[in-house]
């Protein structure tokens, strides 16, 4: 698994893909935070990163499927998936290697955004006048959310040999997990089960952790969602050997 992880990371950073991901993520978020007229941090006048943590999940909706689209789709299109599976490495190791490589790339893009926190910490009146606990919780929530999107993207990539199809499927699935259950909960026909649908969606759990309070139920949700989609990916890979 370690060898595959290194190989995947080398593929990301030996081409423009890895650097483009980081640049786009920082560029989009920076525009919304600092340059949007009448809606940027400097005009608002108080040290608060909540706008970043509201926008970042939507940026991830496109960014992460773009990262994961090649994971298995490229292997299928090149005909290298069969040789990879027949090597003395389990399907679990293959999936985890690709999953961790994509997640590390997302974290690599997320890490430079700490400059936002450092800047606001310094600009606060007095310096340090920012809710650091809420910021830490929000970053943890973003990492959990990104991990679920990555597992969905890996699963979507295992469904097809076309990277564009993989990107679109992953985008739709991530969007549904993020917004779809919330929309279902708001429909009158599902009023009796609205709490059930809200709990199935990722938004309520992300918002809960972003408040800076780590609830075991939210952690279990994110872990379970990751395990579910990774197991679905493993099932698809095993079906190719039947």
Q: Give the pLDDT of residue 118.
A: 84
Query: Residue 45: its pLDDT value, please?
Result: 57
- Residue 222 has what pLDDT? 94
Ordered by start, the domain boundaries in the chain are 2-239
Q: How far apart are CA 212 and CA 196, in angstroms?
A: 23
The pLDDT tens digits for 143-189 are: 999 999 999 999 999 999 899 999 999 999 999 998 887 887 777 77
Q: What is the pLDDT of residues 33-60, one digit of tens each?
A: 766 656 666 556 565 777 788 888 989 9
pLDDT of res. 147: 96
pLDDT score at 212: 73
pLDDT score recorded for residue 9? 77
Q: What percent of the chain has pLDDT over 70?
A: 89
Tens digits of residue pLDDT in 105-147: 899 888 888 888 888 777 766 666 677 788 888 899 999 999 9
CB 222 within 8 A of CB 147: yes
186 within 8 A of 194, measured Cβ to Cβ: yes
Segment 206-229 shows an average pLDDT of 89
Looking at residue 176, its pLDDT comes to 92
Distances in Å between the alpha carbon of 107 and those of 72, 83, 85, 169, 222? Answer: 21, 30, 28, 23, 16
Greater confidence (84 vs 27) lies with: 27
What is the reported pLDDT for 164?
92
Work out the number of other CB atoms within 10 angstroms of the CB of residue 141: 25
pLDDT surpassing 80 at residue 241: no
Q: Residue 226 — pLDDT band, cuts 50, 70, 90?
A: very high
Cβ contacts of 208 within 8 Å, gap of 6 or more: 141, 215, 218
């Amino acid at each position: 698994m370690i060898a595959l992880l290194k190989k995947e990371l080398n593929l990301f950073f030996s081409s423009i893909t890895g650097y483009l991901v980081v640049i786009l993520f920082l560029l989009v978020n920076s525009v919304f935070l600092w340059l949007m007229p009448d809606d940027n941090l400097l005009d608002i006048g108080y040290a608060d990163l909540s706008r970043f943590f509201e926008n970042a999940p939507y940026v991830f909706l496109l960014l992460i499927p773009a990262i994961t689209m090649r994971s298995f789709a490229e292997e299928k299109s090149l005909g290298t998936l069969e040789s990879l599976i027949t090597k003395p490495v389990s399907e679990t190791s293959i999936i985890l290697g690709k999953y961790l490589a994509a997640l590390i790339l997302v974290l690599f893009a997320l890490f430079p955004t700490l400059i936002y926190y450092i800047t606001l910490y310094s600009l606060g009146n007095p310096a340090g006048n920012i809710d650091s606990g809420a910021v830490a919780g929000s970053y943890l929530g973003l990492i959990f959310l990104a991990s679920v999107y990555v597992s969905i993207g890996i699963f979507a990539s295992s469904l097809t040999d076309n990277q564009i199809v993989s990107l679109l499927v992953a985008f739709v699935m991530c969007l549904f997990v993020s917004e779809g259950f919330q929309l279902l909960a708001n429909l009158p026909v599902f009023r009796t089960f609205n709490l059930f649908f809200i709990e199935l969606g990722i938004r309520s759990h992300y918002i809960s952790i972003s408040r800076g309070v780590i609830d075991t139920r939210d952690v279990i949700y994110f872990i379970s969602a990751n395990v579910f989609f990774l197991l679905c990916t493993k099932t698809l890979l095993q079906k190719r050997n039947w």
